[in-house]
Amino acid sequence: MMEYGEDDYLMISGIQHFKFCRRQWALIHIEQQWEENAHTVLGELMHRKVHDPYFTEKRKDVIIARALPVSSRTLGASGECDAVEFHKCEDGIRLHGHRGLYSIYPVEYKKGHPKLTEEDQLQLAAQAMCLEEMFSAEVPEGAVFYGEIRRRECVKITDDLRREVTDMFREMHRYYDRRYTPRVKYSKSCSACSLKEICLPKLGKNVSVKEYLNRMLKEETE
């Protein structure tokens, strides 16, 4: 099995961008482009509220670690878990400074509501796979907490999710190694993208992508 060095690690959170749009991921993670909109600002504020890298909380038989750094040599990825709950159980791992055995339960925080697509589940699955590698333990499920509905949704870390995470990180590494940015492929989701003015700066409501690209080609030849 191939393993990556730390210098080659990609951001775990990038899998969200990659699932949403390969070009968006490349603009952010390869070309280092970024533009905030209301969605990204609110999301960042929520994560700041959750993250306290020096804070571990204990509630009865549950230990909660926030902003826990995680990584995987097999995925070639690293990042932070918003929160990881360690639940006391009969068959689990040992934690330094704590008696008993604990199971591992990652929780990802999102500002909005559950999506129809699997970006959030894929990010959580990637975190779970990192935790499994780090603790040599199984992480069969976790949860995504949505700020808009004030509720967490349980996510089973299925074999299908694991395969998709593995395949996507392999593809991301190929793109990154080649410094490859895919061409524009317009869809309805472009209107909600925080990079639309960078990706398609002159695309208005009454201008088709074909017209925009033809105009850009014409400007380059003049």
Q: Tell me what the mean pLDDT of segment 5-21 comes to.
A: 95
- Residue 48 covered by a domain: yes
Residues 195 and 85 in one domain: no
Q: Do both 136 and 191 map to the same domain?
A: no
Q: Which amino acid is at 181?
A: T
Q: What stretch of H or E contains 153?
A: strand 151-156
Q: Tell me the β-bridge partners of 38.
A: none
Over residues 110-130, the pLDDT tens digits come to: 988 998 899 999 999 999 999
Q: What is the pLDDT of residues 39-88, one digit of tens each?
A: 454 455 555 545 555 457 888 899 999 999 999 999 999 999 999 999 99
The Cβ of residue 70 has, within 10 Å, a number of other Cβ atoms equal to 22
* Domains held by the chain: number: 2
pLDDT (tens digit, 9 = 90+) per residue, 202-220?
Answer: 544 444 445 545 554 554 4
Counts for the chain of helices (H) and strands (E), in that order? 7, 7
In a domain, 1, yes or no: no
Residue 95 inside a domain? The answer is yes
- Phi (first) and psi of residue 155, to 5 degrees: -125, 120
Same domain, 140 and 65: yes
Please check whether residues 149 and 210 belong to one and the same domain. no
The verdict on 174 and 193 lying in the same domain is no
CATH of residue 56's domain is 3.90.320.10
Q: Are residues 28 and 117 in the same domain?
A: yes
Locus of tokens 């600002």: 41
Whether residues 69 and 59 fall in one domain: yes
175 located within any domain: yes
Whether residue 56 sits in one domain with residue 28: yes
Residue 134: φ, ψ to 5°: -75, -40
Q: What is the mean pLDDT of residues 173-187?
A: 91
Q: Residue written as tokens 């960042």?
A: 44
Name residues whose C-beta falls within 8 Å of residue 146's C-beta, 6 or more positions apart in sequence.
110, 111, 112, 113, 114, 152, 153
**pLDDT 10s digits, 126-168:** 999 999 999 999 999 999 999 999 999 999 999 999 999 999 9
Tell me: do 212 and 152 sit in the same domain. no
Same domain, 94 and 17: yes
Query: Which residues of 1-146 form beta strands (DSSP E)?
Result: 10-11, 56-59, 62-72, 77-89, 101-110, 141-146
Q: Which residues pair with 65 in a beta bridge?
A: 56, 84
- Bridge partners (DSSP) listed for residue 94: none
Q: Does 75 map to a domain?
A: yes
Start-to-end C-alpha separation, the chain: 52
Domain extent, residue 11, equals 6-182
In a domain, 16, yes or no: yes
- Confirm whether 25 is domain-assigned: yes
Q: Are residues 115 and 15 in the same domain?
A: yes
- Is 121 inside a domain boundary? yes
More confident residue, 189 or 41: 189
Mean pLDDT over all residues of the chain? 85
**Claim to verify: residue 143 and residue 68 sit in the same structural domain:** yes
Q: What is the share, in percent, of the chain residues with pLDDT greater than 90?
A: 63
